[in-house]
């Protein structure tokens, strides 16, 4: 932990790596959707007619969206295809952020029991010069910063 008055710069969002069990996808251009929400249960207690008590309910996790430039790699497509064919294969994974020198891991989020709910291909435009971008949306059952 830094000393009082010591400057602490925030981490940069562009130097990250996505790890998925058994998948060696080289790199992703974007990762979004790290989040969780806990439901609020409102409860009135007898005799206290002016205040509503708020209790925590179930927690849900936001789907993680991954985007990458299309290559010859078929691993993510084949994982999605397994789901389409009725074979649910879940994988654990991590989002890892590195320092500017790309040598030291500075923060990591682990997610549990993920499976691809959606795949989307790139739009095509004969007048453009953009790269082909594929998108994969992952549902998961837990998120922890370690």
| pLDDT one-digit tens code per residue, 82-108 | 999 999 999 999 999 888 877 788 999
First to last CA, the chain: 15
**139 contact partners, CB below 8 Å, separation of at least 6:** 63, 114, 115, 117
**Dist CA 59 CA 31 (whole Å):** 21
Tokens for 5, please give them. Answer: 């008055």
- CATH code, 16-145: 2.30.110.20
Instruction: Name the pTM for this structure.
Output: 0.83
**Residue 24 pLDDT grade (very low, low, confident, very high; cuts 50, 70, 90):** low
pLDDT tens string 109-127: 999 999 999 999 988 889 9
**Dist CA 92 CA 60 (whole Å):** 17
Helix, strand or coil for residue 8? coil
Supply the DSSP symbol for 63: P
Tokens for 103, please give them. Answer: 């040598």
Q: Which residues pair with 18 in a beta bridge?
A: 95
**Dist CA 141 CA 137 (whole Å):** 14
Break the chain into its structural domains and give their ranges.
16-145
């Amino acid at each position: 932990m830094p000393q009082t008055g010591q400057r602490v710069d925030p981490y940069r969002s562009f130097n990250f790596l996505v790890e998925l069990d058994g998948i060696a996808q080289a790199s992703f251009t974007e990762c979004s959707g790290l989040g969780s929400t806990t439901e609020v249960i409102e409860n009135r207690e007898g005799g206290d007619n002016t205040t509503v008590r708020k209790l925590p309910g179930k927690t849900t996790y936001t789907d993680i969206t991954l985007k990458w430039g299309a290559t010859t790699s078929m691993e993510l497509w084949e994982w999605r295809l397994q789901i389409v064919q009725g074979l649910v294969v879940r994988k654990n994974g991590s989002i890892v952020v590195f320092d500017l020198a790309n040598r030291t891991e500075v923060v990591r989020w682990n997610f549990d029991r993920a499976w691809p709910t959606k795949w989307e291909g790139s739009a095509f435009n004969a007048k453009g010069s953009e790269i082909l971008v594929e998108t994969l949306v992952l549902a998961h059952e837990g998120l922890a910063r370690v």
